A and B are shown apart, each in its own frame.
Chain A
Amino acid sequence: QKEVEQNSGPLSVPEGAIASLNCTYSDRVSQSFFWYRQYSGKSPELIMSIYSNGDKEDGRFTAQLNKASQYVSLLIRDSQPSDSATYLCAVNILTGGGNKLTFGTGTQLKVEL
């Protein structure tokens, strides 16, 4: 079982709709969770972090965490064509050697006009 799993997509949504991206993780001691956006040919940029169960909102983005179900999601409201990118879920685990930050394979989002 992969440590962090995401549906590769592509996920297609019309402009103005809500995009819902999901991620599951296998290690119950995972302690912090991040969503990154990556445009083609570029490096990932951090868009959301979440550390405790529940919802965290930042502008059009909402991250949701459920540690009991080992599930983290990202909602993008009022999706725009500029949101078209690959979204990477990342999970941080504190190991004996330090913070180990592990990524999923990413979900490609396409926002259509």
Chain B
Amino acid sequence: DGGITQSPKYLFRKEGQNVTLSCEQNLNHDAMYWYRQDPGQGLRLIYYSQIVNDFQKGDIAEGYSVSREKKESFPLTVTSAQKNPTAFYLCASSQGFTVNTEAFFGQGTRLTVV
């Protein structure tokens, strides 16, 4: 089945630890995105990537890092510098290289820092 897979679905980490969220897609999409959603809030863009080995900061990149070594993978690391990391993290992908492309989401990872 084609789609976007995020793992794990739930993640618990101690304060001060780095944690990496996985996002894999087999849709052959060029563009990939990471968003953060807090309760009752919309989606805020963390990072986005159009092609392999290139990515751009979104609106709330501080405390996060990404890599794009393969077209199908776009992992997000939540570092200890992120002051309030507990949130719902969503990964999306789209064909890219033209604006008239629709983005599709994975099932999300719910991160809780204890």
Confirm or deny: B69 has a beta carbon within 8 angstroms of a beta carbon on chain A: no
**Which secondary structure dominates where chain A touches chain B?**
strand
Interface 0/1 of B26-49, CB less than 8 Å to A:
000001010100000111110011
B56 within 8 A of A: yes
**Taking the nearest CB of chain A, how far is it from the CB of B62, in angstroms?**
17
User: Given the complex of chains A and B, what is the CA–CA distance between A104 and B42 in angstroms?
Assistant: 6
Cα of A41 to Cα of B55 in the assembled complex, Å? 28
Interface residues on A, range: 20 to 34
Is B63 located at the chain interface by the 8 A CB criterion? no
Q: Which residues of A contact B43 (CB under 8 A)?
A: 44, 88, 103
Task: Identify the stretch in A65-73, A74-82, A93-101 within 8 Å (CB) of chain B at 4 or more residues.
Answer: A93-101
Q: With an 8 A cutoff between CB atoms, is B111 at the interface?
A: no
SS of B interface (majority): loop
A51 CB–B CB distance under 8 Å: yes
- A103 contacts across to B, CB distance below 8 A: 35, 42-45
Residues of the B chain whose Cβ atoms lie less than 8 Å from the Cβ of A100: 45, 48, 56, 58
Q: Does B103 contact A (CB under 8 A)?
A: yes
- Selected from B42, B96, B100, the residue in CB contact (under 8 A) with A32 is B100
Question: Which B residues are CB-close (under 8 A) to A12?
Answer: none
Indicate whether B54 reaches chain A with its CB closer than 8 angstroms.
yes
Interface, chain A (partner B; CB < 8 A): 6, 31-32, 34, 42-46, 49, 51, 88, 90, 92-95, 97-106
Question: Interface of B with A (CB < 8 Å)?
Answer: 31, 33, 35, 41-45, 48-51, 54-56, 58-59, 90, 92, 94, 96, 98-108
In the A-B complex, list the 3 residue pairs whose CB atoms are closest, starting with the nearest.
A98-B50, A97-B56, A105-B42
